[in-house]
Structure 1
Amino acid sequence: MRKTTPKRRQIVTAGAAAAAAAATAGVQTQTAAARPAAAELAASTASTGPYGSGVAGSWSSATRAISTPEQIQRTRQTGGVYMFGDSISVQDGKALAVRLLNRNGTQLAVHNWSSRPTSGAVDALQQWASTYGLPRRILMASGSNDIFDPPKFAAQVARAVSIVGQNRTLYWVNLQVVRRSVSAAVQLADQRNSSWLNMQLYDAQERYPNLRIIRWAEWLWVKPYRLANYLRDGVHPSVPLGQDARNELIVQSLVG
């Protein structure tokens, strides 16, 4: 059996603590969960599915934010960043673009789509690579919707790395999902599956030197009150507090 590394022990222990903290902290921000984007994690929990978090729903008609071809080309030509994300990025992407531009003039082009699993995000990455070419930095902010089928995630990470190639850097924001709107049993499955997905990212980082993980999950866990104050529904960052914190972590990784 493969020896458990400190990173693995850290994420399993912290994940259990986060699940407990989220369950007790949920009432403090329950009213914020009624905002429109809160339900955009595509799932039906009528059946908890094979992994306990429910069954993924359709995302083809969900809210999205996609840059124009002109912005995509400008971003590549100026050495900017391509971003591929889900509903968190639909909510936070514009603020991230402003923060990056103000920090050092970095352009951001986005392909963000609510409720989309990582397979769809990697499809979009492949399309942009073929159509426009890639800049040297790619940001993946995807994975929250993979809690419904965690075993497929590692292959999508490997696929993204292959598309990006060895001479570019792939940044990946890890994830924390414990939906406050579901039962305690499903919340526990959400945390277990979030940790499972994050461990797949850490395994990939050991194999791929150009993969950089942006540790949003650990930033939340290190001070448990952040799970209540920086997440409005257990998934999406609160605005502006959580949004600012997550976007700053991303900017620090991208530009220092």
Structure 2
Amino acid sequence: MNTTRRRLFTIGAAAIGTTFLTAEQAFADGYGSGALGPWQNLSKQISTMDQIGPVLRSNGLFMFGDSISVQDGRALAERLLPNNQIAVHNWSGRPTEPAVDALEQWAQAYGLPTRILMATGSNDIFTPPVFGAQVARTMSIVGPNRKVFWVNVQVARTSQSTAVQLADQRNSAWINLQLADAQRKYPNLEIIRWAEFLAGKPSRLTAYLRDGVHTSVPEGQAARNELIADAIENG
């Protein structure tokens, strides 16, 4: 087992409080988190052109997210006002590749502001190796003169068995390592370290997450949005 994979497994085991798995055990059933279900008919929030225009004129932000952002996006927009307007393309259950497709579509249709917020990756735990290529694709679309803020991920679904929670955590760490690798390559990529914030105090995992993935409201929502807002306002 190589060093990177061993490190991922160890992170997952420590977070869940269970034993270390071999590579063979961990990948016997895909990546251990199961399969991503259909997401195309799930809830979404997509800004209209009437909303996008003022964001571009004020050089605000475009945001691309998943179900956490569907839940928390309105509160984040209110937190960022009046200095930062935001247009959103948030879709529950969506993994990163179609989120980057949406980024590319908006870039072609509208152009891009100088700041992009990516709050996606939680749904990539089911196939974590594909994530890094989508980060690289994002940076290619955005180019070197725009800033990308990317919220990293913490998933360990409490509705699932301990073994699946361990796989979720391990795969979250794998995604976050790919994001960290990309940050070393792209100086205009800034990671918003939600996973590290949650790990900073054990009580935060239960206080700020209602199901091991989505933020509790209002505590977790406010904490995550504050991390994002601080990065944007100081970035």
Give your verdict on TM over 0.5: yes
Identify which of 175, 186, 193 aligns with 1:215. Answer: 193
1:145-160 alignment to 2 at 5 Å? 145-160=123-138
Is 1:53 the counterpart of 2:50? The answer is no
1:13 Cα deviation from its structure 2 partner: 6.0
Q: Quick check: 2:157–2:213 contact (8 Å CA) kept in 1?
A: yes
Partner residue in 2 for 1:97: 77
1:19 Cα deviation from its structure 2 partner: 2.0
Identify which of 48, 54, 60 aligns with 1:68. Answer: 48
Runs of 4+ in 1 over 6 A off after TM superposition: 1-4
Partner residue in 1 for 2:113: 135
Is 1:198 the counterpart of 2:176? The answer is yes
Deviations 1:141-165 (A, max 9, x none): 0000000000110000000000000
Cα distance in 1 for residues equivalent to 2:163 and 2:50? 46
5+ residue gaps, structure 1:
22-47
1:57 Cα deviation from its structure 2 partner: 1.0
Cα distance in 1 for residues equivalent to 2:84 and 2:10? 37
Deviations 1:42-83 (A, max 9, x none): xxxxxx941000011111111000111111111111010100
Taking a change above 3 Å as real, the CA distance of residues 80 and 12 of structure 1, as seen in their structure-2 partners, is: farther
Name the SS for the 2:87 alignment partner.
Answer: strand
Cα distance in 1 for residues equivalent to 2:29 and 2:56? 41
Deviations 1:100-119 (A, max 9, x none): 004xx210100000000000
Cα distance in 2 for residues equivalent to 1:148 and 1:2? 21
Cα distance in 2 for residues equivalent to 1:62 and 1:126? 21
Cα distance in 2 for residues equivalent to 1:2 and 1:122? 30
Identify which of 3, 15, 18 aligns with 1:18. Answer: 15
Q: Quick check: 1:14–1:221 contact (8 Å CA) kept in 2?
A: no
1:194 Cα deviation from its structure 2 partner: 0.3
Q: Quick check: 2:11–2:173 contact (8 Å CA) kept in 1?
A: no
Name the SS for the 1:148 alignment partner.
Answer: coil
Identify which of 122, 141, 155 aligns with 2:100. Answer: 122
Cα distance in 1 for residues equivalent to 2:219 and 2:138? 30
Q: Quick check: 2:61–2:116 contact (8 Å CA) kept in 1?
A: yes
1:16 Cα deviation from its structure 2 partner: 3.6
Cα distance in 2 for residues equivalent to 1:113 and 1:147? 16
* Aligned residues between the structures: 224
Cα distance in 2 for residues equivalent to 1:52 and 1:2? 19
5+ residue gaps, structure 2:
19-27
TM-score by length of 2: 0.90
Q: Quick check: 1:49–1:55 contact (8 Å CA) kept in 2?
A: no
Partner residue in 2 for 1:25: none
Cα distance in 2 for residues equivalent to 1:173 and 1:49? 28
Partner residue in 1 for 2:23: none
Is 1:88 the counterpart of 2:85? The answer is no
Q: CA RMSD in A?
A: 2.0
Q: Which has the higher contact order (CA 8 A, sep 6+)?
A: 1
TM-score by length of 1: 0.83
Deviations 1:144-190 (A, max 9, x none): 00000001100000000000000000110000000000111101100
